[in-house]
């Protein structure tokens, strides 16, 4: 089948969020929180391009409030559950839980290659030496490398791909992507930790081009924050988000999963 069309997720300004689409991303809302299913092209933090250029800025405009508190964060190209607190007390409880590590996170990742069995990657990470990309990380044995632990569990392995459940036990920058690359199973669509890091630089400079189309099977990294579970004595809540449409389409068209199989993954605890 044809490759899914590229979506706008470059380092250039993203398209503005519209008032019509934002409510469709809400997966749960109450007096204290809004949980969004963030698409893979949306920036979390406010930017110079105005309130509708980021999720938290757009949410403030939508709710007509001066302050909302961003509890969790995701990279621009990572989709999935993102939590916003509506008031200071809700923000305090949830952020305290995050700081004290009373939180577990579950991701779904589509890996390039077949992971035969579950694996715990316990490999320290640090700055990627010699890379022209300043933000790039790597498995490292340097003195300043930091402990990084990630559990990968294959859910479906078909057609040269793996849909995996991923649980990070530490919270290092780009941790899942770095450990997937270390396994030799990079995340599909990853411009920085995939087949050629120059794809990232080219994308920043000129956007999607012929080399991206030739080397990447998806136009953004196939990483999705599926579940955010708070286990604080004062705050016990679970927030979840189903697969976004682009990842759902890839799973069906490229991996051969049925709608029922995808639903079983989404409904599993």
pLDDT in tens, 103-123: 999 999 999 999 999 999 999
Check residue 136 and give its pLDDT. Answer: 96
The mean pLDDT of 81-91, rounded to a whole number, is 95
Residue 3 domain flag: no
Per-residue pLDDT of 207-238, as tens digits, reads 999 999 999 999 999 999 999 999 988 889 99
Residue 9 confidence class, pLDDT cut points 50, 70, 90: very low
33: CB partners within 8 A, 6+ apart: 71, 83, 84, 85, 86, 90, 94, 237, 239
The mean pLDDT of 243-248, rounded to a whole number, is 96
Nearest CA to 59 out of 72, 48, 68, 47 is that of: 68
Strand pairing partners for 35? Answer: 28, 83
Residue 75 domain flag: yes
Residue with tokens 């961003």: 70
Nearest CA to 232 out of 74, 119, 92 is that of: 92
Per-residue pLDDT of 191-211, as tens digits, reads 999 999 999 999 999 999 999
Residue 135 domain flag: yes
Residue 14 domain flag: no
Whether pLDDT at 8 is above 60: no
Residue 13 domain flag: no
Question: For the domain that residue 201 is a member of, what is the CATH number?
Answer: 3.30.2350.10
Predicted TM-score of the model (pTM):
0.92
User: What is the span of the domain harbouring residue 79?
Assistant: 22-267
Residue 15 domain flag: no
Check residue 174 and give its pLDDT. Answer: 97
Cα–Cα distance measured from residue 87 to residue 70, given in angstroms and rounded to the nearest whole number = 11
Averaged confidence pLDDT in the chain: 92
Whether pLDDT at 156 is above 50: yes
75 given a catalytic annotation: yes
Check residue 6 and give its pLDDT. Answer: 42
Check residue 126 and give its pLDDT. Answer: 97
| H-helix or E-strand spanning residue 94 | helix 88-99
- Stronger pLDDT, 126 or 11, i.e. the higher one: 126
Task: Give the N- to C-terminal CA distance of the chain in Å, as an integer.
Answer: 32
Whether pLDDT at 34 is above 90: yes
Residue 11 confidence class, pLDDT cut points 50, 70, 90: very low
Check residue 13 and give its pLDDT. Answer: 62
DSSP-derived secondary structure for 235-247: -EEEEE-PPPHHH
Q: Calculate ∠ Cα 252-187-54, nearest 5°.
A: 90
Domain total for the chain? 1
For CA atoms 148, 94, 17, 50, the dihedral sign is negative
Whether pLDDT at 260 is above 90: yes
Residue 10 domain flag: no
Which residue in the list 2, 30, 75, 213 is annotated as catalytic?
Answer: 75
Cα–Cα distance measured from residue 180 to residue 165, given in angstroms and rounded to the nearest whole number = 12
Cα–Cα distance measured from residue 226 to residue 228, given in angstroms and rounded to the nearest whole number = 7
Contact 168, 149 (CB under 8 A): yes
Residue 26 domain flag: yes
Check residue 183 and give its pLDDT. Answer: 98
Check residue 32 and give its pLDDT. Answer: 95
Query: How many helices and strands, by DSSP H and E, does the chain display?
Result: 7, 12
Whole-Å CA distances, 125 to 122, 193, 217, 223, 225: 10, 14, 27, 19, 21
Nearest CA to 59 out of 77, 40, 75, 43 is that of: 43
Cα–Cα distance measured from residue 194 to residue 77, given in angstroms and rounded to the nearest whole number = 14
């Amino acid at each position: 089948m044809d490759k899914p069309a590229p979506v706008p997720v470059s380092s250039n300004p993203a398209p503005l969020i519209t008032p019509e689409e934002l409510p469709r991303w809400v997966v749960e809302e109450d007096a204290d929180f809004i949980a969004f299913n963030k698409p893979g092209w949306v920036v979390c933090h406010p930017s110079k391009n105005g309130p509708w250029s980021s999720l938290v800025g757009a949410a403030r405009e939508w709710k007509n409030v001066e302050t909302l508190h961003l509890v969790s964060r995701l990279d621009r190209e990572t989709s999935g559950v993102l939590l916003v607190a509506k008031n200071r007390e809700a923000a305090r409880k949830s952020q305290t839980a995050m700081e004290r590590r009373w939180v577990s996170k579950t991701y779904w990742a589509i890996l390039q290659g077949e992971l035969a069995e579950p694996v715990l990657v316990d490999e320290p990470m640090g700055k990627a030496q010699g890379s022209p990309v300043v933000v790039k990380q790597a498995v490292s044995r340097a003195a300043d490398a930091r402990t990084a632990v990630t559990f990968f569990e294959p859910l479906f392995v078909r057609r040269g791909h793996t849909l995996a459940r991923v649980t990070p036990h530490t919270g290092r920058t780009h941790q899942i992507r770095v450990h997937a690359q270390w396994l030799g199973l990079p995340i599909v669509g990853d411009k920085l930790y995939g087949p050629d890091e120059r794809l990232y630089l080219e994308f920043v400079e000129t956007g999607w081009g012929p080399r991206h189309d030739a080397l990447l099977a998806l136009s953004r990294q196939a990483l999705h924050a599926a579940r955010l579970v708070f286990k604080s004595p004062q705050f016990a809540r679970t927030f979840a988000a189903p697969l976004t449409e682009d990842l759902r389409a890839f799973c069906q068209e490229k991996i051969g999963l049925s709608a029922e199989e995808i639903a079983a993954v989404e409904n599993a605890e």
